[in-house]
Structure 1
Amino acid sequence: MRWVLSALLLGFCATTLAQEARRPEPNTRVPKGVARYTPSGFPDRIVASPAQDASTGFSAAWRTDTRVSAPQLEIVVAGDSPDMGEPRRIEATSRPLKTENGEAHHHRADVDGLQPDTLYAWRVQGDRTWSAWHHTRTAAAATAPLTLLYFGDTQNKNVSLTTRVVREAMRAAPEARLALFAGDLVSGGDGEDDNEWGEWFEANEVLPTSLVVAPAPGNHEYFEEFEDTPQERRVLGAHWPVTFALPGNGVAQARRTTYWFDYQDVRVVVIDGTSALDLGTAKAQAAWLDQALASNPHRWSIVLTHQPFFSPREGRDNVLLRQHLLPVIRKRKVDLVLQGHDHVYGRLKHEAPTPVFVVSVTGAKQYRLSEEARKTMRPVAEDTQLFQVLRFDGPRLRYEARTATGRLYDAFDLVDGGAAGKQLVEHAEGRIEERTCTRAETLKGRADRCWE
């Protein structure tokens, strides 16, 4: 009898623990009242971003506490000896930011005059200390092969569930030099903005200093000021301008959130869908985009944006993007339009080989596909965390979407035939079956989502 009671008790405990494990997970792992990401004299949140010409420079951003107000960046050609020679020192600029974790100083250093295709070691200064030495290689010649990574929204539960995708991406493409993020890096708006940014950097581990990072702003990088009043408006969050050191060549009406840069044989142009849709800048962004693409001397072009031109989620229709910006994208024969926002996967089926419109998601939040998306996109996916690897090699671009476990989900080549134009070649071999959401509702009881 005692044995039976013990077995029943163990079974009850196991069931209770299983039920506990299925409760909705909080957006960050930081318990209430715990200071996990307080700034200190040790530099953190270190991230490199491309200069307008990524072959000769990059910029770095980092954070410390307020004791550090005039830091420097040191850089030297990387060598095999710990004695790499006398580094060049570059003065940084600093801006304060007060958050739930206290007041911090965010720093920016712009590095120019570098040699193409050269591995540099660099570090940033804190309070009587320095960061580790990081390695970043400048862009090579246009004819050299290039690998880059593209991530959809990370947004929620970054340390818990984005970490594994980033690690898998870096295993799949250890030669990658550039990472594109399609907005909504964090969720924001819940009083934990700084914790969320801390988790984004923790989840990405060495990626922001091993590669150069180019993000697009998402709607969650904004917040609603005067919410539920006649004066309600979108305002860019305080973290965005100081977290990344981005090129300052954007359109005047959205200077801090639009930019472009050249990386080998690719021009990447980042537009701000939130500003276009909610702040009336679509027309101005279209004119600026036209100029940025018209002057492109390279074989390939990418437009990176958050909100999709063709939404795969039910109830979303970004008309202003199609009205003002889509004609420019088609006129200038953009190759890829990389997007996020809708938390599913979808590649638009189209008669023309380019532009290729892709929506993807990296993070934990998962929505459901619309019936229209199932008719007009292929492949599509629900309930799937993904990353994308893009490999450029002369006249051929290879695109692969892979799941969080590294399985191949989508693949195609774009092949430049010169006067004959570019052709899309599908690669179906090795792809797993299309994935759909099998849950009736989320753990919070929402039937309009698959996971949250």
Structure 2
Amino acid sequence: MNLSCRRSLLLFAALAACHAHAQSHGENEPNLSIPSGSQRYVAGEMPDRIVATPSQDPATGFAVNWRTSVAVQSAALEILEAVDSPDVGTPRRVQAVTTAMASENGLAHFHRADIDALKPDTLYMFRVQGAGSWSGWRQLRTAAASGQPLTLLYFGDTQNKNVSHVGRVTRAAMRHAPEALMALYAGDLVSGGDGVDDSEWGEWFEAAGDLPGVMMVAPAIGNHEYFEEFEDTPQERRVLGRHWPVTFALPRNGAVAADASRTTYWFDVQGVRVVVLDGTSMLDLGTAKAQADWADEVLASNHQPWTIVMVHQPMFSPRGRGASDRLRAALVPVLERHKVDLVLQGHDHTYGRRTGEHRGHALPQYIVSVAGPKQYRVSAEAKRTMAPWAEDTQLFQVLRIDDGRLHYEARTATGRLYDAFEVLRDANGAKRVNELRGGRISGRDCSHRDATLGGRTDRCWE
């Protein structure tokens, strides 16, 4: 064998070893787990993508969305108080509103049923209709009165490789907080916009497992739930993705003046007002002032003892993104004037927590987190101003609120405690933050690698 051949073989072996290393570590694996051309996520006669979402008052109502093939022209939901016997009697039937949507997986029908007049703090069982068939019964509890203990889950971006990597985070969160009433998602649930959008949503639901049908889901919209239309032309613009309006049955109380009524909303749950904003519309569609004015009104009318605001893009970017300056200018005065407790965010694929611009004020606590495998690096500025921060770490968060105490903890995909604090409220409504450092693992960073296996120096993981 001549020298040239030996060099070629050695190069081939090195490339093969590199490829095998990347595949074994999952970094360069495809975004979707299904092979190209798979029919796995084509809509069928049996209902799928069943997801419950809160009404404005989730103590007395919630909504459910699901999907079927076009064979189901009209669908209904059945519901009753959960019973111990398979003899459920005659359930209440709620007719759904049906919307057609075409995707790479063909035409499908999406159904929305809004359920009202329910009893607070009551376990209900419900099922949804397919073509001559029904889903299995799900059990879901309505919210209780203000002051009763409440547990919420909070997830940052899932976005990539949902089946491969996000599912274990979801299962860890459900094991760690089985009593959770609701899950808050801070946007970018899927990557989207690449011709396999519907299959990505199919994998998001597969990764979510039972969660969307046994607890309410309250999502914020991310930039990846939008499409870029006329990209790289003078007419380039953001357009709301087709899946968002038909996937989640959100409260119809959003920022109408901002033309963001389908992507903003609010609700009250057990003493907490949750306000959800659309950061992409604020940044790219010129609705920052209108949304800020709407949030100002919603927060001004708030009589709940606790307040959470959720928006995809962060006010203070762990990555050092300049767009945070624009969001901060529009929203931070509103958030701080109304003494918001937590601002939950995603987008930056890292973890970071800090107080606001007035560093003497403990609240709001501004938090950025990530549940999925795409992992960026934290900027030098964020390392100086955030504590704790993390790179190369998939996380979920648990919020437990019990009258005068809000307990927050961030845990890794394996359940280890990474961050914890509590907000304590006295009889006069004054609040203070107490850091809880016991039991936390050491800070995690990406110093063990200079670049991803794909050569990206701005990321820890592709």
**SS at 2:333's partner residue?**
helix
Give the partner amino acid of 1:79: V
> Are positions 1:446 and 2:456 aligned together?
yes
Superposition pairs of residues 12-411 of structure 1, within 5 angstroms: 18=21, 20-22=23-25, 24-252=28-256, 253-349=259-355, 350-411=359-420
* Cα displacement (A) at 1:224: 0.5
Larger deviation, residues 409-418 vs 349-358: 349-358
Larger deviation, residues 286-295 vs 389-398: 286-295
CA distance, structure 2, for counterparts of residue 82 and residue 181 of structure 1 = 34
**SS at 1:123's partner residue?**
strand
Query: TM (normalized to structure 2)?
Result: 0.93
CA distance, structure 2, for counterparts of residue 14 and residue 231 of structure 1 = 45
Give the partner amino acid of 1:134: R
**SS at 1:419's partner residue?**
coil
Q: 1:50 to 1:230 in 2, by over 3 A?
A: same
Q: Which runs of 5+ in 1 are unaligned?
A: 1-11
Residues 343 and 367 of structure 2 are in contact (CA less than 8 Å); yes or no, is this contact kept in structure 1? yes
Residues 277 and 318 of structure 1 are in contact (CA less than 8 Å); yes or no, is this contact kept in structure 2? no
CA distance, structure 2, for counterparts of residue 186 and residue 64 of structure 1 = 20
* Cα displacement (A) at 1:219: 0.3
**CA offset digits 1:264-297 (Å, max 9, x no partner):** 1101000000000110001010111011111112
**SS at 1:170's partner residue?**
helix
Give the partner amino acid of 2:312: H
The number of residue pairs the alignment matches comes to 442
Residues 48 and 68 of structure 2 are in contact (CA less than 8 Å); yes or no, is this contact kept in structure 1? yes
* Cα displacement (A) at 1:263: 0.8
Identity among equivalent pairs (%) = 62
**CA offset digits 1:386-436 (Å, max 9, x no partner):** 000000001000000000000000000000024361000000000000000
CA distance, structure 1, for counterparts of residue 108 and residue 208 of structure 2 = 21
Q: 1:315 to 1:118 in 2, by over 3 A?
A: closer
Give the partner amino acid of 2:455: G
CA distance, structure 1, for counterparts of residue 36 and residue 381 of structure 2 = 42
Give the partner amino acid of 2:439: G
**SS at 1:391's partner residue?**
strand
Residues 22 and 453 of structure 2 are in contact (CA less than 8 Å); yes or no, is this contact kept in structure 1? no
Q: 1:132 to 1:66 in 2, by over 3 A?
A: same
Give the partner amino acid of 1:433: S
CA distance, structure 2, for counterparts of residue 447 and residue 167 of structure 1 = 31
The equivalent of 1:9 in structure 2 is none
Give the partner amino acid of 2:297: Q
The equivalent of 2:435 in structure 1 is 426
CA distance, structure 1, for counterparts of residue 170 and residue 18 of structure 2 = 33
Q: 1:354 to 1:50 in 2, by over 3 A?
A: same
RMSD, matched Cα: 1.6
* Cα displacement (A) at 1:84: 2.2
Residues 77 and 84 of structure 1 are in contact (CA less than 8 Å); yes or no, is this contact kept in structure 2? no
Give the partner amino acid of 2:445: T
Residues 347 and 356 of structure 1 are in contact (CA less than 8 Å); yes or no, is this contact kept in structure 2? yes
